[in-house]
Structure 1
Amino acid sequence: MKKQKGLPPMTAPSPLTPTPAPLADLTQIQRITFPQFPAPGRVLTIYESGAALPIPVARVFTVASDEADTMGGGHAHRWCSQVLVCLQGEVEFVGRDHLGGEVRHRLADPRDAVLMPPTIWGEQYYRQTPALLMVFCDYPFDAADYIRDFETFRAYRASLAAGQ
């Protein structure tokens, strides 16, 4: 697998840091289907917060890849939930916990998405390119929200599990 390359460090100032989210388990990773309305020569897909989109939206970003088998993600969030939608190509989502469990979802249709709660390690593999992934977040960017090392993630989840 090809790793992410050339990404700038994310060092934006932190807003007030919320209380960490409760420990999520892999069963909380949900498939979502958005409504689509085909018409001659086009298709309308609706991403509406409060309807099929189960989180309030504070941030939206896209990731484009033109190189197959490139990996994105490779981190967890302490409190941010995300909904991932593949607008073009094919992206494989992998969610992991600290005990070796994992869940995989193939995303290749703009009406299909995955909800990833906080405290889950997420990876995306761009399988069919060009690919375009759109991500809805319920929290603005905060560098303190990210856990970018898997061993640190495992220790963080273990500490949350011990506190429950």
Structure 2
Amino acid sequence: MIKSNVYDCTMIELDKHHHKKGNITVVENGRTVPFEVRRTYYLYDVPSGESRGGHAHRELRQLIVAASGSFDVTLNDGTGVKRTFTLNRPYQGLLVVPGIWRELNNFSSGSVCLVLASHEYDENDYIRDYGEFLVYKKR
């Protein structure tokens, strides 16, 4: 088990280049993102009032970006400490380390949640039951 807490998770400012024809943000392995990106996915068309996440990972690290719109990410390390981040700028990302329970909610209309992940999908890496998560954190 990886000993981690919500203060190991932080906002990362991504490179933003302004141009009169529009902005561009560049994300590079090992430079902008402190891990090698092995998987990328995005959430969109999340119905009003719905939430996503509701799980933790044993090894996976993620950079979560509001590519469009806004949403909240609430992090919980199992010790009673929670932090909520509002993501609403496409040039900022939230680094989430392993061993942190996460919930995403309050999606604005048209929001797109972009996730850059350190590992390919592995169901065995997920902890989907909060009680199991608490037991995992106490090991």
Q: In 2 relative to 1, CA 116–57 (structure 1 residues): closer, same or farther, beyond 3 Å?
A: same
- 1:78 aligns with 58
Counterpart of 1:52, as a letter, is T
- 1:89 aligns with 69
* Residue-pair matches, total: 139
Counterpart of 2:49, as a letter, is D
- 2:86 aligns with 106
Gaps of 5+ in 2: none
With the length of structure 1 as denominator, give the TM-score of the two structures: 0.81
Matched, 1:153 2:133: yes
Aligned pairs for 1:124-143 (under 5 A) are 124-143=104-123
Deviation digits for residues 30-80 of structure 1 (CA, Å, limit 9, x no counterpart)? 110101111113111111111121111110000103423320100000110
Per the alignment, in what secondary structure is the counterpart of residue 79 of structure 1?
coil
Aligned pairs for 1:1-164 (under 5 A) are 20=1, 22-159=2-139
Residue 65 of structure 1 contacts residue 126 of structure 1 at CA under 8 Å; is this kept in 2?
no
Counterpart of 1:57, as a letter, is V
Q: CA deviation at 1:126?
A: 3.6
Residue 67 of structure 1 contacts residue 130 of structure 1 at CA under 8 Å; is this kept in 2?
no
Residue 46 of structure 2 contacts residue 107 of structure 2 at CA under 8 Å; is this kept in 1?
no
Gaps of 5+ in 1: 1-19, 160-164
Report the aligned-residue RMSD: 1.1
